[in-house]
Amino acid sequence: MDIEEYVPFSRLTTFRTGGPVRFLLTLKGESEIPEARAFAEKKALPLVPLGGGSNMLAPDQGLEAACVRFAPSSIVVSESEDTRLYAVEAGASWDVLVAHAVADGSWGVENLSAIPGTAGAAVVQNIGAYGAALSDTFEKAVAVDLGNGELVEFSKDDCAFGYRTSVFKENRDRYLITKIFLRLSKTPRPNISYRDLKNRFEGAVPALADIRNAVIEIRKGKFPSLSEFGTAGSFFLNPIVMEAETFSLRARFPEMPVFDLPEGGVKIPLAWLFDHVLNVKGMRIGKAFVWEKQPLVIAAEMGASTRDIVSLSEKIADLLYEKTAIGIIPEVRVIERESR
């Protein structure tokens, strides 16, 4: 186990903001978890799982905690007649996994290309993009209960996946995922239902690598380059409301798209509300601003603070509520209010 002290969150998160975490513990594997638990207990500090830092906004004043993460780790593939089972250690890069699967000719995660972060964190968030979600191919996960040190296996049902959520997100900091298992198809199953992909291929049947390359290109056109700006991608979750709540909005905005959900409720595309109701693109506080090419994205210039980003997000949420009575919540984990 590698132990570092007072490591700035600006080095650990894609927003590149935040003060120092008291300790950063980097584990080589599952066998070092008892040592990490003992260390945190000795220091009387909470043990906070940290993936790739691509969905976290850390406090400017730092955090009195022991953050724990896995070093980049392995991907093992098992063959069956029609599928491949990918056993992926939690510290593996998600996009390295996707590239590996595409190179193997395995279908199911190509639409999730170029999403930053680790494989373990991808399960916590149930990442999704371009008509696909991690839960579509998920088989099981193994995690350690940080409270008692027990190893627990989670089936797909156990994970209680929903829109950008899971049992791991609902029980934040209780579990540390050690390994995930995805079952991918050897049979071509192109998913180009998402408008940008449908327009890109115009009725053609794309190859697996073509879909991955198209997704990467689309994302480059919509999202800030991490070499230039800090960001966590889409900052807010699309709101899900009861159908009755949309009646007055539809009367005011007849062109507003809505999507009925199989489990009940209606999802409203937040980007549409931001563009047509608020016109938030370019809005800024300090060195944080709304990305011009995608209104769901908050970007941060060099030297931005977490407070800049939080203030901007709160301003946007307040404005939307004033105009529509719709409340929105961050997709990003915001721990700005937690003190050291």
Q: Which residues are catalytic, by number?
A: 164, 234, 331
- Distance, in Å, from the CA atom of 107 to the CA atom of 132, rounded to the nearest integer, reads 11
Q: What element of type H or E holds 144?
A: strand 138-145
Q: What's the N-to-C CA distance of the chain in angstroms? A: 23
Which residues are registered as beta bridge partners of 179? Answer: 89, 142
- Distance, in Å, from the CA atom of 65 to the CA atom of 101, rounded to the nearest integer, reads 36
Residue 199 CB partners (closer than 8 Å, separation 6+): none
- Distance, in Å, from the CA atom of 326 to the CA atom of 236, rounded to the nearest integer, reads 13
Torsional class of 228: left (φ above 0), alpha (ψ -120 to 50), beta (otherwise): alpha
In the chain, which residue ranges form alpha helices assigned H by DSSP?
33-43, 94-104, 119-125, 156-159, 167-170, 195-201, 208-222, 247-252, 270-273, 306-324
- Distance, in Å, from the CA atom of 87 to the CA atom of 77, rounded to the nearest integer, reads 6
- Distance, in Å, from the CA atom of 273 to the CA atom of 44, rounded to the nearest integer, reads 45
* Contact call for residues 25 and 46 (beta carbons, < 8 A): no
Half-sphere exposure of 25 (CA within 13 A, CB side): 24
